[in-house]
Amino acid sequence: MSPVSRGFHGRRRETPGQSGRVPPGQYLTTDFPVLSAGPTPHTPLGEWTFSIRQGRDVTRSWSWAEIQALPAETITVDIHCVTRWSKLDTMWAGVSMDTLLGQVEHSAGYVLAFSDGGYTTNLPIADVSDGKAWLAFSYDGGPLPAEHGGPARLLVPHLYFWKSAKWVRGLELLDHDEPGFWETYGYNMYGDPWREQRYAGD
Amino acid sequence: MAGTAVRGRLTWQTATVSSLTRETPSVCTIALDVPHWGGHQAGQHLDVRLTADDGYQAEREYSIAAAPGEPVAITVERLDDGEVSPYLTDDLRTGDELEIRGPVGGYFVWEAGPHDRPLLLVAGGSGIVPLRAILRHRQRTGATVPTRLLYSARSLADVIYREELGQYHDGVQVSYTLTRSQPPGWTGHTGRVDAALLAEVAWPASQDPVAYVCGPTNFVEAAAAGLIGLSYPDQRVKTERFGGTGGP
């Protein structure tokens, strides 16, 4: 039982339409805060590729132009950062991971997303399939800004936002679950905001 | 990268406020008595949870201001439109209870080692907090690694830990830049941290330094980009961004 914080009333910001949309322990923001462990990388689009790898082999790779030529979807979703902010109705455009994974023969159970700057994060294949994940290159009607992960980031809105790897350059297909960057430092392997899976053991 | 993972389950526990120190008009250091603290590293943070009398709860995370081995403390800046920080800086009293869990985070940490690289600490506003823990840790362990702190604040009155930072010598150089107002006769730097100021203050990349940059997003973006421009390798620039662009 939590002790009552004497004199604390809090700010209940639930307004009609938001009920049930803010996971436990989160608060709403209208900003778009930035959190990254290192400098913001800047890869020229002419050198940019998105790859799907199995072990060391690149199974399939797309250039920026090839990604842009694929059917894009617009996505309006709520996002939830482990540092406790949630933002409702964010608007993105990108290519469904189903489109990309559908061009590769595999039987993987997990993926490790990898990014410029060395960032990685792990996800079950089921969580990047069936319309649950995108390679997003547009935010709020414009190009995705570099500090928010541009030119392209993973968008997996049903998990805490560290799983939506910024500056993503590909997926490594794995038959086992392997911790990525933050997961190695004690963050949860799965990261479901509705079960408040922030840290290992949550 | 060093394995500094948080292992096992982090559980909430009740800590007692043992002292409150007003650092600036809007910043307060809260020292805590924590019955079961497993220790922490310099640079880590912890979660705080407040509970209203009807059960409503709010959680936030704060950098730990204390060095490893010291009693746990956080330093909190009041954000005027915030939900939690005004309570912590203005309403909290000695003897009050707070729920906390931690420590959290394992990348933005510094440990004294046998092959220390020159240390560059770059702070914007309350971004000084985890860097202060690093400085205290350096001092307490008797480390001699050459260290430079560049601290950007709006005005001299906004400098947190000013007296403490003034006591460093022996291998620690502290530089300030004041961005909004400077006292008469100010001989320190002025204006925002940019490439030119970093070129003047930062260790040359040839000395193989490691940099820790902490502050608001725009500050960190500018400082980190400036260091990359000075040929610091990406992995030698560790950053911690305070999400707040005015948010709670």
Inter-chain CB proximity B56 and A85 less than 8 Å: no
Q: Hey, is the C-beta of B237 within 8 angstroms of any chain A C-beta?
A: yes
Ordered domains of chain A (ranges, CATH)? 48-195 (3.90.420.10)
* Chains A–B, number of C-beta pairs less than 8 Å apart: 141
Inter-chain CB proximity A181 and B241 less than 8 Å: no
List chain B domain ranges.
Answer: 13-104, 119-242
DSSP B187-232: -SEES---HHHHHHHSPPGGG--EEEEEEEHHHHHHHHHHHHHTT-
| Nearest CB partner across the interface for B245, out of A33, A181, A184 | A33
Q: Tell me which chain B residues have a C-beta less than 8 angstroms from the C-beta of A85.
A: 243, 247
Q: Residue B139's closest CA among B118, B98, B170, B115?
A: B170
Architecture of the domain whose range is B119-242: 3-Layer(aba) Sandwich (3.40)
Whether B214 and A35 have beta carbons less than 8 Å apart is answered as no
Q: Residue B228's closest CA among B244, B213, B245?
A: B213
Distance CA A58, CA A178 (A): 19
Q: Hey, is the C-beta of B89 within 8 angstroms of any chain A C-beta?
A: no
Q: Residue B105's closest CA among A154, A111, A82?
A: A82
Alpha-carbon gap: B9 to the closest alpha carbon of chain A (Å): 5
ipTM here:
0.86
AA letter at B59: E
Each residue's pLDDT tens digit, B191-221: 999 999 999 999 999 999 999 999 998 999 9
Each residue's pLDDT tens digit, B64-92: 999 999 999 999 999 988 899 999 999 99
Q: Hey, is the C-beta of A63 within 8 angstroms of any chain B C-beta?
A: no
B121 pLDDT higher than 90:
yes
Q: Tell me which chain B residues have a C-beta less than 8 angstroms from the C-beta of A2.
A: 12, 49, 51, 57, 99
Q: Which of B12, B16, B44, B235 is the best mutation test for A, with the most CBs of A within 10 A?
A: B235
Query: What is the torsional sign of CA B204, B205, B206, B210?
Result: positive
Each residue's pLDDT tens digit, B140-180: 999 999 999 999 999 999 999 999 999 998 899 999 999 99
Each residue's pLDDT tens digit, A78-95: 999 998 999 999 999 999
Q: Which of B228, B230, B236 is the best mutation test for A, with the most CBs of A within 10 A?
A: B228
Inter-chain CB proximity B51 and A202 less than 8 Å: no
A30 pLDDT higher than 90:
no
Q: What is the C-alpha R_g of chain B?
A: 18
B6 pLDDT higher than 60:
no
AA letter at A110: Y
Architecture of the domain whose range is B13-104: Beta Barrel (2.40)
Supply A192's token pair: 């479901």
Q: Which has more pLDDT, A189 or B81? A: A189
Supply A22's token pair: 């803010």
pTM (two decimals): 0.91
Query: What's the pLDDT score for residue A105?
Result: 94
Q: Tell me which chain B residues have a C-beta less than 8 angstroms from the C-beta of A32.
A: 245
